[in-house]
């Protein structure tokens, strides 16, 4: 893959079953318009139909009587479109800052949605008041910024109800007209709300929000709030941070979230769990084991409803778990308690990375990435845990691929590496260019730290291998996808354990493959990966060059400048002065000898720009060959969701830096199909 091949990529997401069709969102970066195109498509057999035609159509929801999705014109905020079908949906909101999420009450013919409400005179509401002339912001909270958004307190996220039934009068719903149905602002808690939901009967209307208002002390607790009355009512849950919820019935709600065991800031390597809360009894039960099972933020679904919609005694929850390089669909009994990873019933394999699913009778339809393809629609049979125990010797049938977007022709298939490390076995990968070596080698390090590289097709790896560079990457201690003990291994010691692990994987790759050139080594990483890159080059001088991207580089200034800085730094590096200095890349910058490209985004509020500026200045002071590359208008998500032209320019800058200092293998055969991911 070359940088200009970004246009050829696509992402499949948000699958829904509609009769004999699967409806998915297909999203593509478009270099010409420097934006993203996304529309809804219906796929059945070999046929494909485009259902929507706006610039960005996404997040579909299909009910028996009503269907909806979010839609946006080019470079504008999304609005809610609803109709009897996706094809007949029309715009029913005109919120100034757009709609972010919604849910539909099919029987009650209502929509519940979340939109930000700006203070008067801000964010372009008054054409006579440009941003530079807005009133000053008075801030008393601990959190007031959000990466990719900016200030939040003066545009809180609120919940609205809108009726879907139209009386047939006026101009509402007429193409070309400006009128939309009247929305009602609900009474919500003071904090931002998200994840709007109706119970199956429509009698419960709920959102997720912070448990208490932010008056200056960081607090990660959140809960489900019931709306629609004179005042919002909070469910009394254990001390936890709720990510998602789904009503099982009007008295029972399924939750995905983190249990904050020690106190309200106990977030490091917490394994997101699956919980069931009984609103009548006020009890909460955890279905998944807190030490070994991490539920992803993909809304779970229930298998086992009676004809009347009631939940049967043998009902199961279908959810997705992170699993050491994969995201796998699993089945868990609704009556379970603390089910461990080894007890899970898996519906997908060890290498597929699922990003969404829907149920269709006894099958699950899902979108995913695989090692050879970045966009796949597939289906698998549903096996409940009871079925699995009854047929212990039966093997799980392989998933059937229904549709896939072709990967670039010169894609390579990485080799999985299993390496014994100081803290246990490490999962890593080696991706090599086609043709004959020896190839220069780049050690790539992921962010987080509680995140993971996956087996899925990865554009960054493919760009580097196409340019003649071998790539080594791994999930060291501190990563997600394993156990909580693996994730907390870097708490209070952010560099040493992970550094030892990524270097162990690199050394195994070099020792085991004569096509790798150990005299031409580079190291790069973003966010926490930028942090670890900087710590490695301060301690290990074998690398000919480095790229430090959007790095966490000064724990001290991170506190108070990052949108998560205060509690993140104090929980990971502690408050001890000597411990912080020992873990600070800025404090070790004088020891660096490796030529280093420092890349950062101008509007990064997660790892603010000053992190890069300070580190760049410290490298200059140390006499290191260094450059600072700043992307205007971008935030912490540049590599994943930045402007397509900037994503291409980022790749070009990386390749230019590596060509200067390592020199790719110009003899690599980019057209050799023998190692193509499509072969």
- pLDDT at site 391: 59
CA–CA dist 259, 347 (Å, integer): 26
Question: Reduced to 3 states, what is the DSSP secondary structure of residue 501?
Answer: helix
- pLDDT at site 313: 74
Contact 526, 551 (CB under 8 A): yes
Is cis: bond before 449, omega within 30 of 0?
yes
For residue 667, report the phi and psi dihedrals to the nearest 5 degrees. Answer: -90, 0
Give the residues across from 569 on adjacent strands: none
- pLDDT at site 565: 77
- pLDDT at site 75: 86
pLDDT at 154 over 90: yes
pLDDT at 32 over 60: yes
How far does Cα 237 stand from its chain's mean position?
Answer: 25
> Average pLDDT in the 664-672 region?
43
> Average pLDDT in the 338-366 region?
97
Query: What are the structure tokens assigned to 471, written together?
Result: 């790539």
CB contact burial 573-603 (16+ within 10 A = b; e otherwise): bbeeeeebebbbbbbbbeebebbbbbbbbeb
Q: How far is CA 627 from CA 8, 344, 602, 657, in A?
A: 31, 49, 15, 10
Residues 489-543: pLDDT tens digits?
Answer: 999 999 999 999 999 999 999 999 999 999 999 999 999 999 999 999 999 999 9
Residues 223-272: pLDDT tens digits?
Answer: 999 999 999 999 999 999 999 999 999 999 999 999 999 999 999 999 99
- pLDDT at site 176: 66
Phi-psi map region of 663: left, alpha, beta (phi>0 left; psi -120 to 50 alpha) = left
- pLDDT at site 173: 65
- pLDDT at site 678: 36
- pLDDT at site 50: 97
pLDDT band for 409, please (50, 70, 90 cuts): confident
Mean per-residue pLDDT over the chain, rounded: 93
pLDDT at 329 over 80: yes
pLDDT band for 664, please (50, 70, 90 cuts): low
Instruction: Give percent of the chain above pLDDT 90.
Output: 90
Cβ-based neighbours of 174, under 8 Å, separated by 6 or more: none
- The owner of tokens 């933020």 is 297
Q: How far is CA 116 from CA 28, 76, 98, 155, 564, in A?
A: 26, 14, 7, 5, 21
- pLDDT at site 389: 59
- pLDDT at site 588: 98
Contact 151, 119 (CB under 8 A): no
First and final CA of the chain: distance in angstroms? 15
pLDDT at 207 over 80: yes
Contact 637, 603 (CB under 8 A): no
- pLDDT at site 580: 96
DSSP one-letter code for 398: P
pTM, two decimals, is 0.94
Residues 570-582: pLDDT tens digits?
Answer: 999 999 999 999 9
Burial class (CB in 10 A: 0-12, 13-18, 19+), 306: exposed
- pLDDT at site 152: 97
- pLDDT at site 569: 94
Query: What are the structure tokens assigned to 183, written together?
Result: 């929305």
pLDDT band for 566, please (50, 70, 90 cuts): confident
pLDDT at 670 over 90: no
pLDDT at 110 over 60: yes
User: Count of residues for the chain?
Assistant: 679
CA–CA dist 560, 143 (Å, integer): 9
- pLDDT at site 165: 83
Residues 427-436: pLDDT tens digits?
Answer: 999 999 999 9
Instruction: Give percent of the chain above pLDDT 70.
Output: 93
- pLDDT at site 91: 95
pLDDT band for 666, please (50, 70, 90 cuts): very low
Question: Reduced to 3 states, what is the DSSP secondary structure of residue 646?
Answer: helix
pLDDT at 314 over 90: no
Say which residue, 131 or 314, is predicted with more confidence: 131
- pLDDT at site 268: 98
Domains parsed from the chain with CATH numbers: 415-662 (3.40.50.1820)
CA–CA dist 422, 501 (Å, integer): 7
Question: Reduced to 3 states, what is the DSSP secondary structure of residue 384?
Answer: coil
Query: What are the structure tokens assigned to 208, written together?
Result: 């997720």
């Amino acid at each position: 893959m070359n940088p200009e091949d970004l246009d050829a990529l696509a992402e499949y997401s948000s699958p829904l079953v509609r009769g004999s069709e699967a409806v998915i969102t297909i999203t593509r970066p478009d270099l010409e318009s420097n934006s993203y195109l996304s529309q809804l498509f219906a796929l059945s057999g070999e046929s494909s139909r485009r259902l929507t035609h706006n610039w960005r159509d996404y997040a579909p929801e299909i009910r028996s009587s009503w269907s909806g999705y979010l839609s946006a014109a080019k470079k504008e905020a999304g609005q809610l479109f609803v109709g009897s079908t996706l094809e007949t949906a029309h715009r029913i909101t005109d919120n100034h800052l757009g709609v972010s999420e919604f849910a539909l009450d099919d029987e009650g013919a209502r929509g519940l949605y979340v939109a930000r409400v700006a203070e008067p005179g801000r964010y372009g509401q008054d054409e006579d008041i440009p941003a530079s002339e807005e009133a000053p912001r008075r801030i008393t909270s601990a959190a007031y910024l959000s990466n990719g958004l900016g200030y939040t307190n003066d545009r809180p996220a609120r919940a609205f109800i809108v009726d879907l039934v139209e009386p047939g009068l006026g101009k509402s719903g007429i193409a070309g007209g400006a009128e939309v149905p009247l929305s009602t602002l609900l009474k919500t808690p003071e904090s931002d709300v998200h994840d709007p939901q109706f119970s199956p009967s429509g009698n419960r209307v709920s959102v997720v929000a912070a448990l208490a208002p932010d008056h200056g002390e960081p607090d990660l607790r959140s809960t489900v709030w019931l709306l629609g009355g004179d005042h919002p009512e909070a469910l009394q849950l254990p001390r936890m941070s709720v990510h998602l919820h789904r009503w099982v019935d009007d008295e029972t709600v399924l939750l995905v979230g983190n249990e904050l065991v020690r106190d309200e800031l106990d977030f490091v390597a917490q394994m997101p769990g699956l919980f069931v809360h009984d609103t009548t009894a006020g009890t909460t039960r955890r279905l998944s084991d807190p030490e070994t099972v991490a539920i992803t933020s993909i809304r779970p679904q229930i298998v086992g409803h009676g004809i009347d919609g009631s939940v049967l005694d043998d009902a199961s929850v279908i959810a997705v778990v992170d699993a050491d390089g994969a995201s796998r669909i699993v089945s868990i009994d609704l009556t379970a308690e603390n089910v461990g990873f080894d007890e899970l019933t898996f519906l997908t394999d060890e290498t597929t990375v699922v990003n969404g699913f829907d149920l269709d009778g006894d099958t699950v339809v899902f979108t995913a990435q695989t090692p050879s393809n970045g966009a796949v629609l597939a289906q698998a049979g549903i096996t409940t845990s009871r079925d699995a125990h009854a047929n212990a010797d039966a093997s799980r049938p392989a998933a059937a691929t229904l549709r896939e977007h072709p990967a670039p022709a010169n894609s390579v298939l990485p080799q999985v590496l299993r390496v014994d490390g100081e803290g246990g076995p490490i999962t890593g990968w080696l991706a090599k260019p086609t043709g004959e070596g020896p190839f220069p080698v780049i050690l790539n390090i992921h962010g987080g730290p509680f995140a993971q590289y996956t087996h899925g097709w990865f554009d960054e790896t493919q760009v580097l291998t196409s340019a003649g560079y071998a790539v080594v990457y791994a999930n060291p201690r501190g990563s997600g996808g394993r156990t909580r003990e693996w994730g907390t291994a870097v708490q209070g010691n952010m560099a040493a354990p992970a550094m030892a692990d990524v270097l162990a994987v690199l050394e195994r790759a070099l020792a085991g493959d004569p096509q790798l050139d150990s005299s031409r080594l580079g190291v790069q990483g973003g966010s926490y990966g930028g942090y670890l890159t900087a710590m490695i080059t301060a301690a290990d001088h074998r690398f000919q060059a480095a790229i430090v991207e959007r790095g966490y580089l000064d724990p001290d200034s991170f506190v108070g400048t990052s949108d998560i800085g205060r509690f993140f730094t104090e929980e990971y590096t502690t408050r001890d002065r000597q411990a912080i200095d020992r873990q600070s890349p800025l404090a070790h910058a004088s020891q660096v000898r490796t030529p280093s490209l420092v890349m950062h985004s101008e509007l990064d509020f997660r790892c603010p720009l000053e992190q890069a500026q300070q580190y760049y200045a410290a490298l200059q002071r140390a006499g290191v060959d260094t450059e600072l590359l700043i992307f205007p208008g971008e935030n912490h998500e540049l590599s994943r969701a930045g402007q397509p032209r900037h994503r291409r320019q980022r790749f070009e800058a990386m390749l230019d830096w590596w060509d200067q200092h390592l020199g790719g293998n110009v003899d690599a055969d980019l057209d050799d199909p023998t190692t193509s991911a499509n072969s």
